[in-house]
Chain A
Amino acid sequence: MTTAGVDVGSASAKALILENQRIVDWSITPTIGDSATSAGNVMDPLFDKTGLSPDHMDYIVSTGYGRVNVPFAQKQVSEITCHARGAHWLFPEVRTILDIGGQDVKAIRCNAQGKVLKFVLNDKCAAGTGRYLDRTAATLGLNVSELGPLLLKSTKNPPLEISSICTVFATEEMMRWLRKGEDPKDILAGATQALVKRLRGFVDRVGLMPPLIVTGGVAKNTGVIAYLEKALDVTILSAPEPQIIGALGAALIAAQFG
């Protein structure tokens, strides 16, 4: 059986093709325009890459913020369910999942079967999301991809304090530190401490049970992961491609229906 999962997020769209419980391939593209366009933009190159076509698909499940507008999907499933399913398939021992997306944060606790026991979702406030890191990078005149390595170079102790949770107030604090002549890497370390504190709050609300996996684009930021490991005092599992866990879960669920 061949199925596909499509995860249309706020910042990027992800698609994955699964054949008899084996991952064939995946693709990731930035979200541009409406959800239907983004879904097509991510599926087309995947078909090209794999030599498969829509006719080969037994079932397609869509998930993510734009899931209702994916014309070729037969079913829509929530991100929470898909992330839990995808993470559990990769790491059956996982009990807690923290997904940090471009515009939301989810903490999920699941059981040994990958069933969701408790979750908390924040999509109302930019604090703790990828957007917070985008704003931090822009404020400090950095590229988002530079943040992780730079962050690990900061040795200032105690770190500079960023006291606000709110992204807008936090970036004002960063600008104040810049004006006082502080080094961007030390300001970044302070900003990351604030981010990690916020993320810890979400994990605490579902009750941290190790092992913990972090998914979503921010999981690629080695610096943030190191800070989070220290704050939570756990080793964090990470997938080779942390952005496709939702799409993987969707494809796995599709296999149940196809």
Chain B
Amino acid sequence: MSIYAGFDIGTETVKLVILNEGEMTYAGTVFAGIESISEIAEKLLEKGMRETGISPGEIRSIGGTGINTGDIPIIKEDFPEATCSPMGLHHISPEANLLLDVGASKFTAMKCQDGRAVKISKSDKCASGVGISLRMVADVLAMRIEDIGRASLKSEEAVTIQSTCSVFAETEIISLLHHYRKKAEDILMGYFRGMASRFYSLLLQTGSMDDIWMIGGVAKNEGVVKAIKEITGRAVHIPPDPSIIGALGAALAVSNEDLKS
């Protein structure tokens, strides 16, 4: 049996995929929280093995991608995100050629070919447009982050949010809400459209005119996805579980390396 595992260590969540004979047999996500990241990873792996009935000895190797993978002893080899995300996506949707990955603290656009990135544009210096800023917006509106996407779909008159900076946008939203009496759904859709414009700039930098394949936690937000469709005028496809694509790629990458050697 050839069993491999892959971790994707994000700033907010840790993702695990277990591959059995090249097929995904387990996928799980947990919040990073305040425990040590290596303990979180070990617990998640134990859970994955328990649910699939796999014993530790059966796992041939474990790959990792994301941040601080070197701090996690169970990870035997680390791979760049630029390798893992396209490889994971290609495994699920071989037709995907333009990837948009929006995570908690960065977003990346990649033009891909046969599961490999050929052009990459990344934004990781500014919180504008990333998942953390969505949490801030949800807090200001006193909503749960899981609910803001669906709530925004009711919007009929999206407002324009002038501020790019998430900190300034927060103040602007408070003013739109209390002073200008704008509806939460219109503020949300306005904010999502602003995010979508920033994603579009990055997508254009890759030079690809293809359909967009969106991955990362923010892909679960229906409002953001709708805004991207409207702003870009392109089709946006979302894999069944958009958060675990990087972990899947890490598992595939480590299995490729292991089978080679």
A: residues with CB less than 8 A from B are 33, 103, 124-126, 131, 135, 164-169, 172, 179
In the assembled complex, the Cα of A26 lies from the Cα of B164 at a distance in Å of 34
B125 touches A165 (CB 8 A): yes
**Among A126, A131, A172, A179, which residue has the most Cβ atoms of chain B within 10 A?**
A126
- B127 is contacted by which of A33, A103, A131, A168 (Cβ under 8 Å)? A168
B166 at the interface (CB under 8 A from A): yes
B140 at the interface (CB under 8 A from A): no
* Residues of chain B in range 208-255 having any CB-CB distance to chain A below 8 Å: none
With both beta carbons as reference points, the residue of chain A lying nearest to B126 in the complex is identified as: A166
Inter-chain pairs besides A125-B164, A164-B125, A168-B167, 8 sampled, C-beta below 8 Å: A124-B164, A125-B126, A125-B165, A126-B165, A131-B168, A166-B125, A168-B136, A168-B166
B105 at the interface (CB under 8 A from A): yes
A126 touches B132 (CB 8 A): no
Closest 5 CB pairs of A and B: A168-B127, A126-B167, A125-B165, A167-B167, A166-B126
In the assembled complex, the Cα of A67 lies from the Cα of B229 at a distance in Å of 39
In the assembled complex, the Cα of A125 lies from the Cα of B169 at a distance in Å of 10
B133 at the interface (CB under 8 A from A): yes
With both beta carbons as reference points, the residue of chain A lying nearest to B168 in the complex is identified as: A126
B34 at the interface (CB under 8 A from A): yes
Q: Could you pull out 6 A-B pairs where Cβ atoms are within 8 angstroms?
A: A124-B165, A124-B168, A125-B165, A164-B125, A167-B127, A167-B166
A126 contacts across to B, CB distance below 8 A: 165, 167-168
A168 contacts across to B, CB distance below 8 A: 127, 132-133, 136, 166-167
B132 touches A172 (CB 8 A): yes
* Residues of chain B in range 26-59 having any CB-CB distance to chain A below 8 Å: 34
- B167 is contacted by which of A131, A164, A179 (Cβ under 8 Å)? A131
Q: What's the A-B contact tally at a CB cutoff of 8 Å?
A: 37
* CB of B31, distance to nearest CB on chain A (Å): 14
B: residues with CB less than 8 A from A are 11, 34, 105, 125-127, 132-133, 136, 163-168, 179
B125 touches A135 (CB 8 A): no
In the assembled complex, the Cα of A165 lies from the Cα of B105 at a distance in Å of 13
B105 contacts across to A, CB distance below 8 A: 169, 172
- B34 is contacted by which of A124, A165, A166, A179 (Cβ under 8 Å)? A179
In the assembled complex, the Cα of A135 lies from the Cα of B127 at a distance in Å of 14
With both beta carbons as reference points, the residue of chain B lying nearest to A131 in the complex is identified as: B167
With both beta carbons as reference points, the residue of chain B lying nearest to A134 in the complex is identified as: B167
* CB of A231, distance to nearest CB on chain B (Å): 21
In the assembled complex, the Cα of A103 lies from the Cα of B163 at a distance in Å of 11
B126 contacts across to A, CB distance below 8 A: 125, 166
In the assembled complex, the Cα of A135 lies from the Cα of B179 at a distance in Å of 23
B179 contacts across to A, CB distance below 8 A: 33
* CB of B68, distance to nearest CB on chain A (Å): 11
With both beta carbons as reference points, the residue of chain A lying nearest to B167 in the complex is identified as: A126
* CB of B147, distance to nearest CB on chain A (Å): 21
In the assembled complex, the Cα of A230 lies from the Cα of B234 at a distance in Å of 52
In the assembled complex, the Cα of A168 lies from the Cα of B167 at a distance in Å of 7
In the assembled complex, the Cα of A164 lies from the Cα of B105 at a distance in Å of 11
With both beta carbons as reference points, the residue of chain A lying nearest to B11 in the complex is identified as: A172
With both beta carbons as reference points, the residue of chain A lying nearest to B104 in the complex is identified as: A172
With both beta carbons as reference points, the residue of chain A lying nearest to B130 in the complex is identified as: A168
In the assembled complex, the Cα of A172 lies from the Cα of B125 at a distance in Å of 13
A131 contacts across to B, CB distance below 8 A: 167-168
In the assembled complex, the Cα of A126 lies from the Cα of B172 at a distance in Å of 13
* CB of B107, distance to nearest CB on chain A (Å): 13
In the assembled complex, the Cα of A169 lies from the Cα of B167 at a distance in Å of 11
In the assembled complex, the Cα of A126 lies from the Cα of B164 at a distance in Å of 10
B168 contacts across to A, CB distance below 8 A: 103, 124, 126, 131
In the assembled complex, the Cα of A166 lies from the Cα of B165 at a distance in Å of 9
A167 contacts across to B, CB distance below 8 A: 127, 165-167
In the assembled complex, the Cα of A170 lies from the Cα of B34 at a distance in Å of 17
With both beta carbons as reference points, the residue of chain A lying nearest to B133 in the complex is identified as: A168
A124 contacts across to B, CB distance below 8 A: 163-165, 168
